[in-house]
Amino acid sequence: MSKVQYRLNTKSLAVERVKRSVWDKVKAILRYAIAGMLFSVIVLFIGFTFFESPKERMLRREIDQFRVQYDLLNDRINVLASVLDDIQERDDHIYRVIFEADPIPRPVRDAAFGGVDRYAHLAGYQNSKLISETMQRVDQLASQLYIQSKSYDEVFDMAVNKADMLASIPAIIPISRGTDRLISGYGMRMHPIYKTMRMHTGVDFTAPTGTPIYATGNGVVIRAERNNYGYGRMVVIDHGYGYTSLYAHMHEINVRRGQRVNRGEVIGKVGNTGTSTAPHLHYEIHRNERSVNPVHYFYNDLTPEEFEIIIERASRVNQSLS
């Protein structure tokens, strides 16, 4: 741009030099400065809005990594919580029931936190809520594990003082290879003859005729006879402590009424007597004269993996054999 400007005087028709004041120069400078600033703002806005800087890309990658790690941590916490729920369920409904102890109340199990905010020191961060919730889950899980460990200490003390009771409770599978032979579980099942849904008060093990049947706990035989109401040849053992076990559809009975038997002793052989459609053993456990699910009492005879398998098989809704 030329520093010297001229203009035509229309009256004199002469070209005259334009004289610029200081203010005119200041205004020109201001116009250029404002235009430059507006251009810079627009460029910066576009750059920061639609383009990432190398530092932003690095931070975004770190955030993505943290999210993946957080999801993995949450998944791990969920697995641990699920395992703990299963342990608590067994403790309340199997182990403590066996020793006639009251289950631990749910509010105590939940180990709820109250009162002063335990996580106030985590406030003020960008992900404060996420961090606080995760810390609360971890702390609650730790408290529940502590309560469960104390419960097992109590169960152990009860076991030490009840050795005879432990030997008497029906706690093994009554035939060999029972995890492979369990064919029908406890609960509503289709009756094989009447073709109606009926309460199946025991479990059925399919096995060849003549397969040995074992007493599942120490006790006294109170029935060893042929039953006329569908059980066929059957044996009932009184184990004491409110427990009895029943073995039905037997081919052969090897004990007599009043005889004392020990856990693992052969009391008869599998058969197909009574209301039965194939050779099998129908097995029941009664506690305080009420039937209970026998599968919950096989803990003494199985590894944790085998116990999970037999629980799954017993839960299937299928037809019983008697």
φ/ψ (deg, to 5) at 127: -115, 40
Q: Closest Cα partner for 28 from 1, 68, 47, 60?
A: 1
Radius of gyration (C-alpha) of the chain in whole angstroms: 41
At residue 225, the pLDDT reads: 93
- Low-confidence residues of the chain: pLDDT under 50: 1, 115-116, 319-320
At residue 1, the pLDDT reads: 47
Beta strands in the chain (DSSP E): 6-9, 14-17, 182-184, 187-190, 197-200, 203-206, 212-214, 219-227, 232-240, 243-253, 260-261, 266-270, 280-287, 290-292
At residue 12, the pLDDT reads: 67
On whether the CB atoms of residues 127 and 114 are closer than 8 A, the answer is: no
Tokens matching residue 165: 């009771």
Query: What is the pTM for the complete model shown?
Result: 0.50
Tokens matching residue 121: 């020191």
At residue 122, the pLDDT reads: 63
End-to-end alpha carbon distance in the chain: 110
At residue 2, the pLDDT reads: 53
Q: Which residues pair with 103 in a beta bridge?
A: none
Q: Among positive and negative, which fits the CA dihedral 93, 99, 101, 106? A: negative
Q: Closest Cα partner for 269 from 255, 258, 259, 257?
A: 255
**Distances, alpha carbon 239 to alpha carbons 84, 236, 265, 305, in Å:** 32, 10, 14, 28
Tokens matching residue 93: 């409904």
CA atoms within a 13 Å half-sphere pointing along the CA-CB vector of 103: 13
* Predicted confidence (pLDDT) per residue in 269-298, tens digit: 999 998 888 899 999 999 988 999 888 888
d(CA 251, CA 315): 27
* Predicted confidence (pLDDT) per residue in 84-125, tens digit: 888 888 888 777 777 767 788 877 777 655 544 666 666 666
At residue 223, the pLDDT reads: 94
DSSP 75-138: HHHHHHHHHHHHHHHHIIIIIHHHTT-PPPPHHHHHT---SS-TTGGGTTSTTHHHHHHHHHHH
